[in-house]
Amino acid sequence: MDTLYRYARKGRIHGMKVGKAWRFLDGDVEEFLQRQRYPVKKHTLKATLLPDVTGSATKQAGVHSAATSAGGEACYADVEAASNLLADSLLSHGVAPGDRVLILLSNSLEFVVGCFAAWKAGAVLVPENPAIKDEELRHVLQDCAPQALILDREVAERLEAQHCGLDGVRVVYIKNRTFTLSGLDAVRVESLDAVLETKGGSKVLRIDRSSPEHFAAPILSA
């Protein structure tokens, strides 16, 4: 109301002054609001799909930091290259568009890469806390029926101990893999670290393994 009073005193809105107060009809207010509306320029916004975010960002600022963690840092080009490698691996193991990829990784650069890899493969991303209880994990596995798993080593060890059923799973990627899951003859088990290597054997993500990765801060933008 203070704004209307101020404009009324300047004669920019019609009203009736009664003593020290102003009275405005609905038509007066509507007319005033119509005059305050300024033409807005229409901008055509180009839609960007999640799988394309890293690609477009790499072209614009490939060497700029895209994600950081206590264990390392990755630029846009790193995330683009690593997620492409993992997406290619998912597709080569039969993961098809619409399939579910369950990710149980701590906050890390690999988690960011895993998300974009799943999207690039056309899969449905199912992220879960790696600290999930065993009973809840069994429920998630039964409910979403994933075709691929991307796991921290500790989660893989828990699955190994439980002999948890992984019906329908085509491939399991284990971060810092040091063992092979038993009883999974029909399931391909891969080292996530090995997948994220170039043909020359160099790591795409430059990670300091001696530093604990308590957090990851993605700063990706389209």
Residue-wise pLDDT tens for the chain (222 aa)?
566 677 777 777 777 777 777 777 777 777 777 776 655 566 666 777 888 888 888 888 767 787 887 767 888 889 999 999 999 999 999 999 999 999 999 988 999 999 999 999 999 999 999 999 999 999 999 999 999 999 999 998 888 777 666 788 999 999 988 767 765 667 889 999 999 987 766 777 765 555 545 445 555 554
45 within some domain: no
Total tally of structural domains belonging to the chain:
2
Same domain for 15 and 105, yes or no, is: no
Beta-strand relationship, 65-69 and 72-75: antiparallel
Same domain for 28 and 61, yes or no, is: no
129 within some domain: yes
Rounded to two decimals, the pTM is 0.71
Domain containing 101 — which CATH number? 3.40.50.980
Same domain for 56 and 125, yes or no, is: yes
93 within some domain: yes
Strand ranges across the sheet with 72-75: 72-75, 65-69, 216-218
End-to-end Cα, the chain, rounded Å: 41
113 within some domain: yes
Domain around 22: 2-36
CB 52 within 8 A of CB 83: no
195 within some domain: yes
Same domain for 144 and 193, yes or no, is: yes
Torsion of CA 196, 199, 201, 203, to 10 degrees: -30
Same domain for 31 and 122, yes or no, is: no
